[in-house]
Structure 1
C-alpha cells in the first residue's frame, strides 16, 4: 500500500485513513468498525505468515483505524490532517506477539519487564467467531464458571438478560488466581449470523491475582488505557503526567439491551494455558458504587480538560524558566570575568608600586654604605672616630630634629 510503520513511529508516505479503510469521511462508527474488521482479518499476520506486504498492510489498517475510531483524533485529522496528530505526539503500539517466533519471545520478555505491549486476537479466533462456528456456553446472571484456555484460543459464553437487568446494567468480570494473562472480549451479533469483536480488556495484576472486567450501565462509561502514548511518555517523562488522563476513553458500548450477549476469555499467555473464573452480575446491587463511579469519572473528565490548558501554561513557564536560567549563567560568567579583569588591573598597580619602593630602599641603603655625601640628610652629620663632628664636640650642638620648636630659652652650644 506504499506506506510503512517502523516500530511505533509515524508512517512514511501516509495515506488518507478513510482511503485505507475504504470508507467515506461521513461514514458512521459502525461502518468504520465493520470495514476495519474485514481488512484486519484479511491482512492478519497469522493468515499471511510468508507475505511481508500483508503485514505492512495490516499495520497501516490498524494505524488508520486508531485515528478514525477515536472521536478526538478523527476531529483533529479532519481539520488539519496528519500535522495535527504529529503535534500531539501520536504513537501506535505494534503487536509483537503475532509477527513470528522471535518477536513473540521479545514480547514475552518486555511483558515481564512491565513494558505495556498491545497484542491482537488470533485470526483463527476472529474468523471462527465471524463465521458463527464457535461453541457458546451459557453464563446466567449471578453465576460463575471456571476453566483453562489454551494460548491464542478463546472460550465463549452467552449471557442472557431481561429488561430490568438491562436497565440496571450488568457487570462481567474474570479473575485468575494463578496470575494468568488473558483478555476479556465482547462480541456483537453480525447481520450475517456471526459475531464481530466489539470490545476487549486486557488482564491486569490485582494483588495476588490478575483480573479484567466490563460494566454496561445506563450512562456513558469509560475505560482507562494505560498504554496510550506510552512511547511518547518515555521520550518526555513530564508527558507521563499530562497524558495520563488521556487514557480515559469512552467505551463504544455503554449499555446492553435485553437478550443474549456473547463474551469470551482469550488465552493471552505467551507459552502456557490461562486459568480463570468468569462471573456475570446485575449492577442493581451496586447502585451506590455506580453513582460514585459516575461522579468520579465526571471529575476526571473536568480535570483532564484543566490539565490540557495547564500543560500549555506549564510548557511556556518552563521555556521561560530555561531562558532566565540561561541568562543567569551568562550574567554570572560576565560578572566573574569583569571582576577578574578588575583584579588584574589592580594587581598591575600594586606590583609596580612595590617595585618602585624596593628601588628607593635599595638606593638609600647603597648611599649610607657607600659614604656618599649626596645621599646624606642635611644637618645629619656623622661623628668622626675621635667623637667630634667637623672638629666640634658631639655635644656642642643639638641635631636639627632635636630643636626646641616651642621657643625654649636654651641656646645652642
Structure 2
C-alpha cells in the first residue's frame, strides 16, 4: 500500500523511487556524501530558484523524503533489508519536519506542513549556495570579543571563530542579540567535502525581555534547542492542548562540541522590510563554569517536567472527560427537576373551582360560580391591597363601610 494516497504536505511522494537513485548516491555512501548530495539537490529545487516551475516542489519533496530515510541509520537499515515495506509496516508517515531531519533542514522543512502552518521563513538560496561554493567573506570573531553590525534582509554576515585545544575542551558559546528586536537567524556551517560550507545548525531569534536573541552552546553535554514549531502545530490542531506541547519543542542539538580550529557562523537577516541590527559574541565556557552548570541543571529539570506533563496530560484529559460527563448530567438533572416541579405546579393548580369554571364552555356556569358563595368571594377580594382591581376594591370597601355604619346606628339608637 502506498503512503501517497493517505498523505499530504510533507509526506511521501505518491510514486516512490529508490532513495539512493533520487539522491544519486551509491548504497555504500557515507553519511557525509549523502548529506552533501541532499544539500545540492535541495538547493537545486529551492523555491527561490523555481518560482516558475511548479514541479520543483514535488521534486524537492522526493529529495527530502529520500534523505529522511537515508539520514536515519535505523530507517536506512530497514530500507536496505526490506525496502519501503518495512517503513510502511511501521505506519511511518515520514513527515518532513525537524523530528525526522534535524535542524540542518529547517529551512526546507518549513516549506511543507500538513496543516499549512507557515512555520519559519526559508534561508535564501543565494546565501546557501555561496556558502556551499565557499565564495563568502568571513570576518574573524575572536573568543571573548563581540562584533556589532547591520545585515540586509535575506543576506548573511559570516564570522570565523578560531579556538585552540584548551578552549575546545572547555566548551564554546556563540550568542547574538538585538536591542532593536530585529528578526534574524544564527547559523552554523560545517566544512563540506568540496571545500565550501554546508549549513549544519540554525537558530531563529526569539524575543526575551526587551531584546531578541539566539544562541548555540557547545558544552560537551547534550544541550537542547527550543523548536517553537512543535507548539505552533499543536495549537493549530488543538489550542486547548497547546500548553502540554510547550516543552515538546525541546530538541537535542546535533552538535554538542567543537574541535580545535576555525568554525564558521553567520547572522542572517530575517526582517521582511529592513536591515537587522545585531551584536554577535563568542565566549569560552571556562569563564562561565557556574552558568554552564546552571544550564545543565535547568535543562534536566525541564526534561523531567516534560515527562511529568505527559503523564499529567493523561490525567487531565480523563478528569476533563469526567467533568464533561458530570456537567452534562448536571444540565440534564436540572431540566428533569424543573420539569417535575412544573408538573407539580400544574397538578396543584388543577385543584381550583375558578379554574374549572373558567375552563367551562357555558357562560351560566361562570355566572353561577360568582353568585354561589358570596361570602367567599368577598373574602377573596377584600384583602387585595396591592393595587389589584381598583374598581372592585372600592366597591367592596364601600359595602363594608355602609354595613358598619348601619350597625353603629342601631347601637346608638
Taking structure 1 as the reference length, the TM-score comes to 0.69
C-alpha distance after superposition, 1:230-273 (max 9, x if no partner): 03314422222100000111000011111111111112122222
SS of the aligned residue for 1:171 comes to strand
The equivalent residue for 1:349 is 351
SS of the aligned residue for 1:260 comes to strand
The equivalent residue for 1:197 is 199
Q: In the aligned structure 1, how far is the partner of 2:228 from the partner of 2:121?
A: 14
Do the aligned partners of residues 343 and 15 (structure 1) sit closer, same or farther apart at CA in structure 2, a change above 3 Å counting?
farther
Q: In the aligned structure 1, how far is the partner of 2:72 from the partner of 2:335?
A: 51
Q: Contact between 1:17 and 1:68, CA under 8 Å: does it hold in 2? A: no
Q: CA deviation at 1:334?
A: 2.1
Q: Contact between 1:216 and 1:256, CA under 8 Å: does it hold in 2? A: yes
The equivalent residue for 1:81 is 91
After TM superposition, list the pairs within 5 Å mapping 1:305-324 onto structure 2. Answer: 305-324=307-326
C-alpha distance after superposition, 1:353-380 (max 9, x if no partner): 9759x98x95997899xxxxxxxxxxxx
> Which structure dedicates a bigger proportion of its chain to helix?
2
Q: In the aligned structure 2, how far is the partner of 1:366 from the partner of 1:239?
A: 73
Q: In the aligned structure 2, how far is the partner of 1:331 from the partner of 1:60?
A: 57
Q: In the aligned structure 2, how far is the partner of 1:363 from the partner of 1:291?
A: 96
Q: Which has the larger radius of gyration?
A: 1
C-alpha distance after superposition, 1:107-153 (max 9, x if no partner): xxxxxxxx984012111111111112222222121122222222212
After TM superposition, the structure 1 stretch with the greater mean CA deviation from structure 2, 335-344 or 209-218, is: 335-344
Q: Contact between 2:10 and 2:61, CA under 8 Å: does it hold in 1? A: no
After TM superposition, list the pairs within 5 Å mapping 1:272-351 onto structure 2. Answer: 272-351=274-353
1:40 pairs with one of 36, 39, 42: 42
SS of the aligned residue for 1:245 comes to coil
After TM superposition, the structure 1 stretch with the greater mean CA deviation from structure 2, 29-38 or 44-53, is: 29-38
The equivalent residue for 2:240 is 238
Do the aligned partners of residues 4 and 84 (structure 1) sit closer, same or farther apart at CA in structure 2, a change above 3 Å counting?
closer
Whether 2:222 is the aligned partner of 1:220: answer yes
Q: Contact between 1:130 and 1:196, CA under 8 Å: does it hold in 2? A: yes
Unaligned runs of 5+ in 2: 79-86, 359-363, 375-413
SS of the aligned residue for 1:254 comes to coil
Q: CA deviation at 1:173?
A: 1.4
SS of the aligned residue for 1:214 comes to strand
Q: In the aligned structure 2, how far is the partner of 1:57 from the partner of 1:47?
A: 13
Do the aligned partners of residues 13 and 131 (structure 1) sit closer, same or farther apart at CA in structure 2, a change above 3 Å counting?
closer
Q: CA deviation at 1:338?
A: 2.6
Unaligned runs of 5+ in 1: 100-114, 369-413
After TM superposition, list the pairs within 5 Å mapping 1:11-410 onto structure 2. Answer: 11=11, 19=19, 33-58=35-60, 80-82=90-92, 117-351=119-353, 355=357
Do the aligned partners of residues 329 and 28 (structure 1) sit closer, same or farther apart at CA in structure 2, a change above 3 Å counting?
farther
Q: CA deviation at 1:33?
A: 4.5
Do the aligned partners of residues 83 and 305 (structure 1) sit closer, same or farther apart at CA in structure 2, a change above 3 Å counting?
same
SS of the aligned residue for 1:238 comes to helix
C-alpha distance after superposition, 1:128-186 (max 9, x if no partner): 11112222222121122222222212121111111111111111112233332211110
SS of the aligned residue for 1:321 comes to helix
SS of the aligned residue for 1:201 comes to strand
The equivalent residue for 1:411 is none
Q: CA deviation at 1:192?
A: 2.1
Do the aligned partners of residues 311 and 217 (structure 1) sit closer, same or farther apart at CA in structure 2, a change above 3 Å counting?
same
Q: CA deviation at 1:315?
A: 1.3
Q: CA deviation at 1:45?
A: 0.8
* Count of residues in correspondence between the two structures: 345
Q: Contact between 1:184 and 1:264, CA under 8 Å: does it hold in 2? A: yes
Q: CA deviation at 1:61?
A: 5.1
Do the aligned partners of residues 353 and 221 (structure 1) sit closer, same or farther apart at CA in structure 2, a change above 3 Å counting?
closer
Do the aligned partners of residues 366 and 317 (structure 1) sit closer, same or farther apart at CA in structure 2, a change above 3 Å counting?
closer
Taking structure 2 as the reference length, the TM-score comes to 0.69
Do the aligned partners of residues 15 and 243 (structure 1) sit closer, same or farther apart at CA in structure 2, a change above 3 Å counting?
farther
The equivalent residue for 2:402 is none
What is the aligned-residue RMSD (CA, Å)?
4.5
Q: In the aligned structure 2, how far is the partner of 1:343 from the partner of 1:156?
A: 84
Q: Contact between 1:5 and 1:56, CA under 8 Å: does it hold in 2? A: no
Q: Contact between 1:169 and 1:256, CA under 8 Å: does it hold in 2? A: yes
